[in-house]
Amino acid sequence: MNENITPHPQRLVQPQADSPHILIVGAGVIGLVTAWALLDRGYKVTVLSKGWANVGQTHGDRLTSQIAGALWEFPPAVCGSHIDAVSLEYSKHWCMTAYWAWKQIADDAGLSREAGVRMTQSNFFFPQQLSDENAKCQKLMNKMVEIAGSGVEGFRHAGAKLAEERGVNPKYEGGIMDGYELSVPVIDTDQAMHWLTNLVLSKGATMTTRTIDTDLLMVEKDLRNECHADAIVNATGLYGGALSGDDSCSPLRGALLRVVNDGTTFPKVDAALSISADVSEDNEIIFIVPRTDNILLIGGIAQDNQWDLDLTLDTPVVQRMRARANEFLPWLKNAKLDPAYPLAQGLRPARSKNVRVERELRRLESAESSSRIVHCYGHGGSGWSLSFGCAADVIDLLDEAIEGKEPEAMNYRI
């Protein structure tokens, strides 16, 4: 993939007796990709988590990373949760690192099958022409221009005709007036999480099941001594704030319907179709994504500070989600729910200042030196899209911490 990482079981660099040992707390996509990157650079790695990726048990047992839509997006994501300027600038870099990493996996036929990663066309539709002279359209136009210049493949600004090409109702919500598409990675998260777990194990990581529910700074010394760790990574997603004394974290509840997409009851959908929360006024969005060869995801919603996973097929917001998709893509009126797993729901790890990839800035009065904790949480709906980019920055910060350098806040590093 590049000189620092390989998707094969063998490490690129073998650890030595004095190689640093990193403890990663959290086993979602962020924790596992970070572990992978560290292992290939010769670090020793232990991943500690209260739960692991699974398939075949109750659907509520799935990790947030398994429930995610996992369609690569240039920030801000369609769920509309990315508003902090500093984090947004970082994310534009992180996402491109991840784009090329996932694309290289998708471009290898064998790896694509094993990892559940492939490329698809991602289409974005708008009820106004992006050239209109108002603040919202200018913001959306600027994003499109950035995407076009980012190096992503398959970009095309097709305008309103994109709706006709994709079978979208041209009169949806008053009319589709503009649109563009690009080629992006899309990930079967169940398959990918198992592949990542096995890959990290094959490269020599130790995995320990354990729950930590207190501020890591308060237990850092004991935890590092117990695990013989030189540094700690906080990759605990929604609980990243609780483990770092950060009260700006909250859940952003999402849900996805899963329908059979085998071409039997409607023409098979082979491209992603979206209208983002930047366009919607109520955070109820259009998000239609082919997940596997025969499953299509239909979404979505973004409900702030909702902790309960109590949505059902009869919940009004879920029924509106289905009705909205049917109006947008009329073929879907004939779609049949996946009988084994019709509704996926989860809590995106949101944060008011968005993604935090930063060393611990606090210092205990009793401490002789700065903390060796690196935080990586608050990814909202973008964990898969930012994963490899964040992992690279985490490694740089770990090196600084181990070398004894003083920590700097994110806004000073940009």
Q: Which residues are annotated as a binding site for FAD?
A: 64-65, 236
Tracing tokens 């994110």 back to the chain, one arrives at: 410
Give the tokens for residue 10: 């063998």
- Nearest residue to 318 via CA among 232, 395, 256, 251: 256
Report the distance separating Cα 27 and Cα 40, nearest Å. Answer: 17
Q: How many CB atoms lie within 10 A of CB 366?
A: 6
Spatial contact of 278 and 76, defined as CB atoms under 8 Å apart: yes
Report the distance separating Cα 240 and Cα 7, nearest Å. Answer: 27
Q: Residue ranges for the binding site?
A: 64-65, 236, 348, 381
Q: Is the dihedral of CA 249, 93, 37, 19 positive or negative?
A: negative
Spatial contact of 189 and 66, defined as CB atoms under 8 Å apart: yes
Q: Residue ranges for the binding site for D-dopa?
A: 348, 381
Task: Please tell me whether residue 264 adopts helix, strand or coil conformation.
Answer: coil
Q: In 7-52, where does DSSP find H-type helix?
A: 29-40
CA dihedral defined by 108, 293, 313, 300, rounded to 10 degrees?
Answer: 50
